[in-house]
Amino acid sequence: MNMILNVSSLANVEGVKTGVGDALPHLLGFVLVLITLMALWGLCELTGKLLKGKYENLAIPVESPPPASISADRGKLTNEEVAVVAAAVTAVLGEHHRVISIQESKK
């Protein structure tokens, strides 16, 4: 069985004649959409050019904070740190994994 459909043969079977004029409303709609998109693009470009110099001086330079220092002799982990590690394991590995114990590295 041939699964390829020929539109013109289907139209001839039904007794309906097709032509290029049948596609005209679709082509006009496509052209209208393209014109609308180009108009919106042009409006965005124009707005960008008009506002380019106005708001450049509003940015306030901010110094980044110094990196947090971690001491080597911290002792035990706090409950908040254990909760953060457990939440990270759950987020990355999924709910089928759980934290059994947390130990500091032997550096």
pLDDT by residue, tens only, the chain of 107 residues: 455 555 555 555 566 677 778 888 899 999 999 999 999 999 999 998 888 877 777 777 778 888 766 555 566 778 888 888 888 888 888 878 777 777 766 66
Residue 19 lies in a domain: yes
pTM (global) more than 0.85: no
Buried b (16+ CB within 10 A) or exposed e, 65-82: eeeeeeeeeeeeeeeeee
How many domains, the chain?
A: 1
Q: Please check whether residue 32 lies inside any domain of the structure.
A: yes
Please report whether residue 16 resides in a domain: yes
d(CA 78, CA 81): 5
No. of H helices and E strands in the chain?
3, 0
Among 107, 27, 43, 28, residue whose Cα is nearest residue 70: 107
64 part of a folded domain: no
Residue 35 lies in a domain: yes
**Is residue 41 in some structural domain?**
yes
Tokens 């079977």 -> residue = 13
Domain span at 47? 7-51
Does 21 fall in a domain?
yes
- The answer to the question of residue 34 being in a domain is yes
